[in-house]
Amino acid sequence: MDPEPRLTAVERATVERIATQAEPRYARRAIILLAHDEGVSRGETARRAGVTTRTVRHWLAAARSSNQGAAGIFAPAIWEAYAGPAPAPAPEPPAAPHLLTIAELCQQYQVDMDHARRVAELAGQLFDLTDDVHDLAPEQRNLVYTAGLLHNVGLATDPIAHHKAGRDILLRHPLADLTDEEREMVACVARFHRKKVKPDQEPAFMVLSEQAQEDTLAITALVRMADGLDYSQSQTTQLDEPIGFDEGFTIPVQGPHSQEDAGRAQKKADLWHQIFDFQLRFLSPDEPLNHLTVSELAILSASAPAPATPGVRPDDPMSEAGRKILRFHLQRMLQHEPGTRQGDDIEELHDMRVATRRMRAAARIFGDYYDPTVFAPLVKGMRRTGRALGRVRDLDVLLDKTQTYISALAPERRHSLDPLTSSWQVQRELARQHMQRYLDSHRYDRFVRALGEFVATDGFGIASPTDVPGPAPTQVCQLVPVVVYQRLAAIRAYEPLLPQADIPTLHALRIAFKRLRYTLEFFQEVLGPETTEIIRAIKLMQDHLGDLNDANVACGLTVEYLAQWHQDHLTGVSIEGPAGYLADKQSEMLRLIDTFPAAWADFNDPALRRQLTLAVSVL
């Protein structure tokens, strides 16, 4: 036990000033004295000061052996500079000190916000891309973003050792936006974002809980790679869709400084590879793709004949109805996989993608009826597969509609769009390469096998019953009417917005229509015959809004091409054809927007809603 004489009032006032105002090496000693004076344990004292318990013992022993007491462990000039009379006792408790916000801290320490925000954004993107690997909770994405913002907070204070200065700044300043533990974790990220990570030599890290230590290293790994991706400080490097390979994936990066930034990010991926058995590779366009090693997989067979309908019955529990619907569309996805791989018929890819979309739509309806630990990884696999197929399909649609436009041109003008369509063909080929690698990956293989086991095993993965008194509805006949009317309500909620609706709003409305249509299709075999006419009306709205979205996408991609043409000053390449195509697509958008109110009026007819009521009433 350390002896008990405590600080006098004058000494305490002086030590408090040193703790809050002096440079870090003296501030840490002052924090040790104040914590000891409060009777705090050595371990807690070490945590507060950001030092080891050995350092705590050293300075307490020095204070005891000094003839000058507390003053003896500080340079005389430091003690004199902060010495003063004890504050008079206040009649009322002092007001709580102002806690800095993250924005105020960044301003106070002159953080380069352009770089900070870009690193934070990239760290968030990496968090999303690797969310089934790093085991961080979804709500910790905000902490990852904050750590990216503050990783360089010490740069203006000490450019040479800014990683250490950043740690000390964060340990010294309680923040309104973070808990103490979160702030200490971010301080460790600032300390570790530069140079080789040696966590067992960092006192601030060693006093964290075991879980906080694991999370801190995962966050640090993400921030280190994100910092590397903006090594050029240009904020121009962008991440592309990842390409799956054995036990990991490659992340293509784009931008004028992508080779420099990708190389730096690869070096700073060292911590990630120390703590996770999942390889990440950052690839710039200047590097070849043929270095990837992809396993040949035995994909589940789809040779069994598919039934005409899922086989849903009104008395089915929702969990088993969902299993039937997922099995139905998984079988269709696998049946169209060989044709998708071969690539001769674009409709094969279309049908495979439709099946993945139907499964994702079913997951939204039935997800609550399954154990999330079983079902969430399957949903991620559905989403990942849909992304891999979607980019190719979107370009197929774009090129197909562009060919229709070209066919209507005069013969002498039909080659005027060759540079534009050639550019899109290159993009499509790259997207197909990415898709093929994903379909050849262990990740896709594991997803299909896991989903196959799930849909083939009745009762597997059902959620535990809720602890609610009284009987709970569980069957199709009890719950489907609620689901259908919720989907319809989501569509009708857009009605007040439609007079001033912009393109994103109309795109969101299209998705709402699609969800109602899929819901009706899932349960069509147990609904009334009116369902067919309702689905037809919904499809007309989807087609109208889909054509609008396709025209908008075509405009955006054409504008990008024209901007690149202007930037590269492509002599000898005419832009007359692409410019005419852009004008045509813009006219198509205006026509579709102008005719949308009439289409909406046809759909939003009370007679159609009466048909829907009749269709649902049979349950």
Q: What is the pLDDT of residues 285-318, one digit of tens each?
A: 655 433 333 232 223 333 345 578 899 999 999 9
Other beta carbons within 10 angstroms of residue 433's beta carbon come to 14
Question: Of residues 92 and 16, which shows the higher confidence score?
Answer: 16
Q: Give the pLDDT of residue 217.
A: 93
Q: What is the 3-state secondary structure (H, E, C) of 265-319?
A: HHHCCHHHHHHCCCEEEEECCCCCCCCCCCCCCCCCCCCCCCCCCCCCCCCCEHH
Q: Give the pLDDT of residue 525.
A: 93
Q: Give the pLDDT of residue 95.
A: 55
The rounded distance, in Å, linking the Cα atoms of 537 and 517 is: 9
Residue 354: pLDDT above 80?
Answer: yes
Q: What is the pLDDT of residues 453-466, one digit of tens each?
A: 888 888 888 887 76
The rounded distance, in Å, linking the Cα atoms of 233 and 116 is: 10
234 neighbors 308 (Cβ within 8 angstroms): no
Other beta carbons within 10 angstroms of residue 361's beta carbon come to 21
Confidence of residue 523 (pLDDT cuts 50, 70, 90): very high
Question: For the residues 334-348, what does the mean pLDDT come to?
Answer: 86
The distance of Cα 330 from the centroid of its chain, to the nearest Å, equals: 26
Residue with tokens 């019955």: 313
Q: SS3 of 584, please?
A: helix
The rounded distance, in Å, linking the Cα atoms of 273 and 238 is: 22
55 neighbors 46 (Cβ within 8 angstroms): yes
CA distances from residue 317 to 211, 457, 479 in whole angstroms, order as listed? 39, 15, 10
Highest mean pLDDT among 124-138, 422-436, 514-528: 514-528
Residues 6+ apart with CB under 8 A from 244: 294, 388, 437, 438, 440, 441, 442, 443, 444
Confidence of residue 474 (pLDDT cuts 50, 70, 90): confident
CA distances from residue 616 to 169, 321, 323, 606 in whole angstroms, order as listed? 63, 17, 22, 15
Lowest model confidence (mean pLDDT) among 135-149, 217-231, 564-578, 583-597: 564-578
Q: Percent of the chain, pLDDT > 70?
A: 90
Q: What is the pLDDT of residues 80-106, one digit of tens each?
A: 878 765 555 555 555 556 788 889 999
CA neighbor of 311 nearest in space, from 298, 302, 320: 320
Quick one: fold of 318-456? CHAD domain (1.40.20)
The rounded distance, in Å, linking the Cα atoms of 465 and 472 is: 9
CA neighbor of 254 nearest in space, from 264, 265, 262: 262
The rounded distance, in Å, linking the Cα atoms of 59 and 340 is: 70
> Partners of 279 in the beta sheet?
248
Q: Give the pLDDT of residue 528.
A: 94
Q: What is the 3-state secondary structure (H, E, C) of 465-491?
A: CCCCCCCCCCEHHHHHHHHHHHHHHHH
The rounded distance, in Å, linking the Cα atoms of 258 and 262 is: 6
- The residues of the chain that CATH labels 1.40.20.10 are 318-456, 476-617
The rounded distance, in Å, linking the Cα atoms of 254 and 285 is: 7
CA distances from residue 112 to 77, 99, 115, 150, 165 in whole angstroms, order as listed? 34, 22, 6, 10, 15
What is the bridge-based pairing of β-strands 279-283 and 238-239?
Answer: unpaired
The rounded distance, in Å, linking the Cα atoms of 132 and 136 is: 9
Angle at 406 between CA 405 and CA 407, to 5 degrees: 90
- Name the DSSP letter for residue 253: E
438 neighbors 444 (Cβ within 8 angstroms): yes
Residue 203: pLDDT above 80?
Answer: yes
Per-residue tokens: 447: 């997803």
Average pLDDT, the chain: 84
pTM of the model: 0.51
Angle at 70 between CA 46 and CA 84, to 5 degrees: 115
Which run of H or of E encompasses 408?
Answer: none
Q: Percent of the chain, pLDDT > 90?
A: 36
Q: What is the pLDDT of residues 159-191, one digit of tens each?
A: 888 999 999 999 999 988 889 899 999 999 999
Confidence of residue 254 (pLDDT cuts 50, 70, 90): confident
Confidence of residue 471 (pLDDT cuts 50, 70, 90): confident
Q: What CATH number does domain 102-283 carry, 3.30.70.1140, 1.10.3720.10, 1.10.10.10, 1.10.3210.10?
A: 1.10.3210.10
Per-residue tokens: 130: 């690797």
Q: Give the pLDDT of residue 92.
A: 58
Lowest model confidence (mean pLDDT) among 4-8, 9-13, 80-84, 249-253: 4-8
Residue 567: pLDDT above 50?
Answer: yes
Residue 78: pLDDT above 50?
Answer: yes
- Name the DSSP letter for residue 95: P
Quick one: fold of 476-617? CHAD domain (1.40.20)
The amino acid occupying position 518 is Y
- Name the DSSP letter for residue 551: H
Question: For the residues 19-30, what does the mean pLDDT come to?
Answer: 84
- The residues of the chain that CATH labels 1.10.3210.10 are 102-283
